[in-house]
Amino acid sequence: MSQLIIYHNPRCRKSRETLDIIRQSGEAPEIVEYLKNVPTEAELVQLVKLLGISPFELVRKGEAEYKNQYKGKDLSDAEWIAAMVAHPKLIERPIVVRDGKAILGRPPENVNSLLNG
């Protein structure tokens, strides 16, 4: 069974619910608290690629950092990646990765597609 990784924020209800679904399936995921261990630009580029979305689609638009610094700006993909590294709160959560595939846990049930159960 391959390793399951969750980019997790313990203060986020959707992130906690996704982690609960994973654990209830009997899996023991690697937990990356991305606000403490911020992904690098290269890691974020890879996550966006695995998710099949643009960097802008991974940005949380409700965060104060977005509203105050980025709303209405037309940034390149690289600039959005840099913004998420500088302000990890902007990264949508949770992200779950396994076997070269990734999903956003919104809704948390999305994670079922990566589970072996």
Known catalytic residues? Answer: 12
For position 1, what pLDDT does the model report? 59
Check whether 117 has a pLDDT greater than 70: no
> Residue 47 has which token pair?
């996550």
- HSE-CB at 56 with a 13 A cutoff on CA atoms is 8
Can you give the CATH number for the domain in which 99 is found? 3.40.30.10
For position 76, what pLDDT does the model report? 98
For 3-57, what is each residue's pLDDT tens digit? 999 999 999 999 999 999 999 999 999 999 999 999 999 999 999 999 999 999 9
For position 27, what pLDDT does the model report? 94
Q: How many domains does the chain have?
A: 1
For position 81, what pLDDT does the model report? 98
Question: Residue 85: which domain range?
Answer: 5-114
For position 2, what pLDDT does the model report? 82
User: Taking Cα atoms as reference points, which of 45, 41, 16 lies closest to residue 31?
Assistant: 16
For 54-97, what is each residue's pLDDT tens digit? 999 999 999 999 999 999 999 999 999 999 999 999 999 999 99
For position 16, what pLDDT does the model report? 98
> Residue 58 has which token pair?
């991974």
